[in-house]
Structure 1
């Protein structure tokens, strides 16, 4: 079924048409070969590179509007595209194409005493609705990952990235066309009407099988509160880095600075630094100074304030806060167990890290911190599907049902049971 022409003043009718087209496309994608899907992704990467000037022109309009609206620098950075970032998007599409196709993978198989043969096999979810803000690269990542997993996708980007998303989406459609797959396999909602989001949350009359929100706290909260279909989401990225008394400061300093300052507006940025007060030497001063010298505002407890006069007093609200800016909260703790307790109380089960040379302490932290991603001696900014080898991600899921951590192609599948017999009937 072809998607109907845009109906300017009837968002409900528009969204129904999108849903119907996606449902039809999902049936075709469910039986698409790996070669077809990979051809679409590689052709889209070629189209992206060729369209780089158009994409950057479109992005410039979004950037100009964001600055005119007084958006903060961290917001503008999430929105910004340049040649390097467009190339990164194209490479991500190629990396996704090179991933093993999850559809049809046999997860388990066994035979019962009556001769019935069972297989648990990966299958697509169907149609995935992705609602996101400000990050135009999500248009490519979400569409490509959904396609690789055999799913249709309905993308609803924010108004602030609309021009950029439209330009990127056109390249994805070009790839689908080159592979002979339905153009409705990846649809971009053409209206910025907020009712379009409401229609998606209601499931488009059964057309949408799962919703993935990617954006600020208010967006994710709305999705979690109103969705009538399953949701893969995280509400906030309140990430911690704990520097243990057995840390090697040679690696601790660059890790801490990178974890906070590489990109302050991403969900994997460290928002709170915990330091073991039992260290034999002064860990606080060099860590705090390194952050301050990089332009980070430090809000700390009494010990941190004594380490450097530039440190501001932390309020109770600074712990458990997602700043998404060059601001970090610092607190001294009495060993790894107090660090774990702090994270359990203030964290968001997203990403947390320990820096230590003590293997037993590292394992204790890994086992007892109940977050989707837990790292040892590495930056929290590795909380990214691309860094996991997934080729990209739709988002980081912090729930515990179905998907947790970076949502890549495997997480965008379900499974079914194939049962083969030779005449068995069940006894009365």
Structure 2
């Protein structure tokens, strides 16, 4: 099916979706989950082809990790759909309401966007997450995955559409958009057919969509996430959080990429932290003040403090104060997630107030900045912009609103 035909079919489907009851949507989500679970063997076989092709092409292992499916990851896709079914339906919720002096009632209610286009790289689990979130929030989904995951995405979308049909809902609620780069351009120019476009991937993809789209865009950003160890930090806690934030899954956007350490605790903290990182296979790229504590630390170049490594690499720097740490973050942040480790409540409050990011964490790992961890069931992505949505985008973030005005024959004087 040509893209325009898919978009028109999705537009027609969105009209049906906007009027579905919660029970109907939840039943469809459970049916989609059943279909994905039943397709596990096919998904693993398809994904093995995509993964091998990526490795044969010399793709970086951090990207291969994002691309790969395992039985556990497929189980996570299935559970994400079931979790969405258990969440409240935001459509029709009253955001606010009031009565005018003449008796007219004004209510602002949540409504779907309509047709949502999502352009994303690797990570085939996004296919199920995005389809489920769009369905529950009453939106039709046009899914443009990367060519590296094409075979996996075909099997996934086929299963999702079977699940929709089994539940009595049009399969045109979910489409996989295929084709060359020109198709991405078509999506970006499909104003009137696509209501919202969401890019999810590397900086190049996001910049291309944000700068070239005539369709409204919700920007998801890259994650140069900082972890600052304050002079008043619990150092045991700091080591544990650092290792989790960097090592637990280094190829994702909420992994720590830069470590900042107050000079008052550098001598006590860095030897322990560097040894722990080295033991986990992490290469630290540090300034001179960091390198004195370990011969394993390589010299950081000027540009490395702007890097989103997405690998077992970490930039490190010793700073003289909270203010210097915050200044460094402001100059290099991508606005994703920034963390402070401290036992000083005043310092923590100053950091929270002074750092502009989608998420600011105190004494907790940045790996918590995730829609699933927040209780959203799944997420479309993590928005780093400031308009409409910011942070993990779940069901509520995939809605707009309209005003319903109810009267009894009143006219304006």
Please state which band the TM-score falls in when normalised by the shorter chain.
over 0.9
Q: Does 1:331 align with 2:317?
A: yes
Unaligned runs of at least 5 residues, structure 2: none
Paired with 1:353 and 1:94, the residues of 2 have a C-alpha distance of: 31
Question: Over residues 6-27 of structure 1, what are the superposed CA-to-partner deviations in whole Å (9 max), with x where a residue is unaligned?
Answer: 3xxxxxxx11101110110000
**1:242 partnered with 2:228:** yes
- Aligned residue among 363, 366, 386 for 1:380: 366
Give me the TM-score of the superposition, normalised by structure 1: 0.95
State whether structure 2 residue 50 is matched by structure 1 residue 62: yes
Instruction: Work out which of the residue numbers 167, 172, 175 in structure 2 matches 1:187.
Output: 175
Deviations 1:181-200 (A, max 9, x none): 111001111x2311111110
Q: Contact 1:233–1:395 (CA<8 Å) still a contact in 2?
A: no
Q: Quick check: 1:395 aligned with 2:381?
A: yes
- Alignment size in residue pairs: 413
Distance 2:378 2:221 in 1: 20
> Which residue of structure 2 aligns with residue 340 of structure 1?
326
Root mean square deviation of aligned Cα: 1.1
Which residue of structure 2 aligns with residue 297 of structure 1? Answer: 283
**The residue matched to 1:316 in structure 2 has which SS?**
coil
Q: In the alignment, is the contact (CA less than 8 A) between 1:271 and 1:321 conserved in 2?
A: yes
CA contact (8 A) 2:221 2:336 kept: no
Q: Say whether the 8 Å CA contact 2:259–2:316 is kept in structure 1.
A: yes
1:223 corresponds to which residue?
209
Normalising to structure 2: TM-score of the pair?
A: 0.98
1:308 aligns to what SS in structure 2? Answer: coil
Q: Could you give the per-residue CA deviations for residues 289-318 of structure 1, whole angstroms, max 9, x where no partner exists? A: 211121111011112101011101111111
C-alpha displacement at 1:235, in angstroms? Answer: 3.7
Residue aligning to 1:355: 341
> 2:66 matched to which residue of 1?
78
Match of residue 238 from structure 2: 252
1:142 and 1:100 mapped to 2: Cα distance? 17
SS of the aligned residue for 2:404 comes to strand
Q: Give CA deviations for 1:355-397 in whole Å, capped at 9, x if unaligned.
A: 1111111111111110001111111112211111101111111
1:44 to 2:60 alignment? no
Post-superposition shift, 1:107?
Answer: 0.9
Counterpart CA distance in 1 for 2:337 and 2:56 is 33
Pair 1:136 & 2:124 matched: yes
Distance 2:247 2:356 in 1: 24
Contact kept, 8 Å, 2:96 with 2:109, in 1: the verdict is: yes
Report SS of the residue matched to 1:366. helix
In the alignment, what sits opposite 2:194?
A: 208
| Alignment-derived partner of residue 368 in structure 1 | 354
Distance 1:174 1:358 in 2: 54
Match of 2:390 in 1: 404
Q: What SS class does the counterpart of residue 96 from structure 2 fall into? A: strand
Q: Tell me by how many angstroms 1:57 deviates.
A: 0.3
- Residue 279 of structure 1 aligns to a residue whose secondary structure is helix
Give a deviation string over 1:269-295, Cα, whole Å, max 9, x none. 111000011238611211122111211
Q: Which residue of 1 aligns with 2:140?
A: 152
Q: Is residue 285–residue 308 contact of structure 1 (8 Å, CA) maintained in 2?
A: yes
**1:198 match:** 185
Residue 221 of structure 2 contacts residue 382 of structure 2 at CA under 8 Å; is this kept in 1?
no
Would you say the 8 A contact 1:122–1:416 is kept in 2? yes
String of CA shifts for 1:82-132, please: whole Å, max 9, x gaps.
111100110011001111000000111101111111101000011100001
Given that 1:221 and 1:235 are in contact with CA atoms closer than 8 Å, whether structure 2 keeps it comes out as no
Deviation by residue 1:11-49 (Cα, 9 ceiling, x = unmatched): xxx111011101100000000111111111111111111
- Measure, in 2, the Cα distance between the counterparts of 1:208 and 1:59: 29
Partner of 2:315, secondary structure, is: strand
For 1:365 and 1:95, locate their aligned partners in 2 and report how far apart those are by CA, in whole Å: 34
Distance in 1 (alpha carbons) for counterparts of 2:156 and 2:363: 36
The corresponding residue for 1:127 is: 115
Q: Tell me how far apart the structure 1 counterparts of residues 294 and 37 of structure 2 sit (CA, whole Å).
A: 48
Q: 1: distance between equivalents of 2:220 and 2:33?
A: 29
1:65 deviation in Å? 0.2
Deviation readout 1:249-282 (Å, 9 max, x if unpaired): 1211111011111111111111100001123861
Q: Which residue of 2 aligns with 1:10?
A: none
- Whether the 8 Å CA contact 1:296–1:326 is kept in 2: the answer is yes
- Cα distance between partner residues in 2 of 1:123 and 1:235: 25
State the 1:234 CA deviation.
2.9
Measured after TM superposition, the shift of residue 243 of structure 1 is 0.7
